[in-house]
Each structure stands twice: as structure tokens, then as C-alpha cells.
A = this chain, B = another copy of it.
């Protein structure tokens, strides 16, 4: 008896330090990568700073994933990829990634050409939002607002299963909203402005704040000052001198949650990202502040939960986007040609 061919997509998450790849059967209706007997196997490799090498590694990993599924009968239908922004999802180009040192890299078209399938490219916050909304903690809600707290603060919105991108592809950029904290020590954000939510709650900015506050690396009693976001949030539990930094981070995240709630009235706010997932009290306190500030009706309906898929929500979102372009492959390619991108 011959096996019926089955269809899969490739999901890729190119991060600043590591790249993960999975081959996912269609339709993408669940995300089981984290379960020991999951049908999705995730391959991880360091992200090479040379984009050609990095993309060749992705292609090899996809081919290895396909080979895993058996000698024949597997059809790859599309590849969906996440990368750090800013990027152009229509052209599939990473415009500039300071951490990787990449500039104008046509990630989408390159992967699509190498694998011979249609492609999709978007940034990690947006794809994390999609993954959590459809396959994770947002399941069942009509409007899902996603907030990611890691080295920076990102956000994304999914409504009726579709990403809300905004009129200039900037929707959900909640990290760069004013935190509303004020006072005299208004920290600078990674974008250059002061007082944004990311300036108080993003990992990189939080570490910079600590470095400015304790320039000799010592608390007033001589003990070592915390240097990164993780250490700051741990120390804040018992060090009154560190607590104000954590409190500002909570207040800033409450502003993000409050803005999502007031503008969108989502069914759920999903909070993910390495820092939030490692410090659940941060989200809990931020949600409590947001509820205290909101109008009672909004406070009563506000639901803030942690992401369920962990870091793999981005990969899940990539798989969902790949499934979408598999169903309508002309979409991205047509747009690329109109804008005249050179397919690498």
C-alpha cells in the first residue's frame, strides 16, 4: 500500500543569538513541540552573523526536518520566518538588525527560492502574538493583545485570527508609548526618546538604568548591585534599594496593559517574553495596577494571562503564516514583483 503524501510547512525563527526551525504538518491546528511526544521537532543552531551562512543553515535544517518524516510522500508547501525588526514584510527583507549586523537582507525571497516554495517574513513580536492568539493562551478570544517583555518591549494584536498591522505597519508598538511615570529621573529608551514603557521595563534599558544608579556596581551597603534585568527583578524582592526599579517596570507594563485595554477592549492580554515568563509577579502586579486604574467595566472584563507556548510562540506564528501563504501563495510573491525586489 502506497503512503498518501502529506503536506507540511517550515517554521523558522531567526533570533539575535539562535535560530530555531521546525517542520509542521498542515493544517496547523495545535502546537505540540514542547510535549515529549510532540509531532513537531524543533532544531536549534546559533545564528551566524553572515546572512548567507545563516540562511544556508536554515535550509539544511528544513531539509533535515523533511528527511526525518520519512523517505517519501512529504510535500513542503511554504516557509514562514520570524526575524528581528525593523523589516519589510511585503518585500521579505530585514532592513536593519543592529544585533546581527544585517542590513537589507532578503530573508523571505532567499528562503523561498532555496526551498522552492512561497515564503512569509514578519517580526518576532507580531508572530509571537499570532502564535499565542491562535494556538496558545489567546485561544477562544476574539481580540488578543500580546505584550512581550524581554530585551525590549514588543506587542502585537490579533483580531478574528488575523494580525492587525495598522496603516503604516506599526500597530501594537506599545513599548514606545509614554509610560506616564514622570519625575526627575526619566530614562532614555532604546529609540532615543525618554520615558517610554521600554525605557523602564525592557531588559536592556532596565540594565542601563541600574548601571547609572549604581555606577560602581555596589549598593549603598557595599554588596554587589544587580546588573541585568533578571538580577534586578530578583533583588527587588528583598532589597528596598532595588525595589523602585521593579516598581517602575510594573507601572510601565500597567500602562501598556491599560492602553491595550482602553483602546481595543481585548478578550485577553497575553504577556510573554523571557523576562515576563521568568518573573510572573511582574505581570501579576502590572495587571493589578492596570485594573485599579481602569474604569470599573474595563477592570471587570480585563483578563491578563501568561503566554503558554513560551519562546516557541514565535515559531508557532511562523508556522501559521506559512500555512496562510500556502493557501494563497500569490500574495507575497506578487507584491514583491510589483516593488521590484531582487530575489537572491
How near does chain B come to A179, taking the closest CB pair, in angstroms?
7
How near does chain B come to A139, taking the closest CB pair, in angstroms?
14
Query: Known contacts being A167-B265, A259-B177, A262-B177, is A192 close to B296, with CB within 8 Å?
Result: yes
How near does chain B come to A287, taking the closest CB pair, in angstroms?
14
A264:B192 contact, CB within 8 angstroms: no
How near does chain B come to A4, taking the closest CB pair, in angstroms?
40
B191:A264 contact, CB within 8 angstroms: no
Query: Known contacts being A255-B178, A294-B176, is A301 close to B170, with CB within 8 Å?
Result: yes
Cross-chain contact of A141 among B167, B178, B193 (Cβ < 8 A): B167
Tell yes or no: A279 within 8 A of B by CB: no
Q: With A and B bound together, what is the CA distance between A295 and B170 in angstroms?
A: 10
B170:A143 contact, CB within 8 angstroms: no
Q: Which single residue of chain B is at the shortest CB-CB distance from A263?
A: B263
Tell yes or no: A166 within 8 A of B by CB: yes
Tell yes or no: A258 within 8 A of B by CB: yes
Q: Which residues of B contact A176 (CB under 8 A)?
A: 262, 294-295, 298
Cross-chain contact of A260 among B173, B189, B263, B267 (Cβ < 8 A): B263
Q: Which residues of B contact A174 (CB under 8 A)?
A: 262-263
Tell yes or no: A297 within 8 A of B by CB: yes
How near does chain B come to A249, taking the closest CB pair, in angstroms?
16
Cross-chain contact of A293 among B142, B143, B157, B193 (Cβ < 8 A): B193
Q: Which residues of B contact A265 (CB under 8 A)?
A: 165-173
Query: Known contacts being A167-B301, A255-B180, is A173 close to B295, with CB within 8 Å?
Result: yes
Tell yes or no: A89 within 8 A of B by CB: no
Interface string of A193-220 (1 = CB under 8 A from B): 1011000000000000000000000000
Q: Which residues of B contact A165 (CB under 8 A)?
A: 265
Tell yes or no: A108 within 8 A of B by CB: no
Interface string of A224-263 (1 = CB under 8 A from B): 0000000000000000000000000000000100111011
Q: Which residues of B contact A189 (CB under 8 A)?
A: 295
Tell yes or no: A38 within 8 A of B by CB: no
A139-184 CB contacts (< 8 Å) to partner B: 141-143, 145, 155, 157, 159, 164-174, 176-183
Q: Which single residue of chain B is at the shortest CB-CB distance from A297?
A: B170
Contact-residue bracket for chain A: 35 or more
Tell yes or no: A317 within 8 A of B by CB: no
A178:B177 contact, CB within 8 angstroms: no
Q: With A and B bound together, what is the CA distance between A260 and B181 in angstroms?
A: 19
Cross-chain contact of A259 among B142, B155, B259 (Cβ < 8 A): B259
A298:B170 contact, CB within 8 angstroms: yes
Tell yes or no: A118 within 8 A of B by CB: no
Tell yes or no: A266 within 8 A of B by CB: yes
Cross-chain contact of A178 among B169, B191, B293 (Cβ < 8 A): B293
How near does chain B come to A48, taking the closest CB pair, in angstroms?
29
Known: A168-B301, A170-B265, A193-B293. 9 other contacts (CB 8 A): A166-B265, A166-B266, A167-B267, A167-B301, A177-B259, A178-B255, A180-B182, A182-B183, A264-B264
Q: Which residues of B contact A294 (CB under 8 A)?
A: 176-177, 193
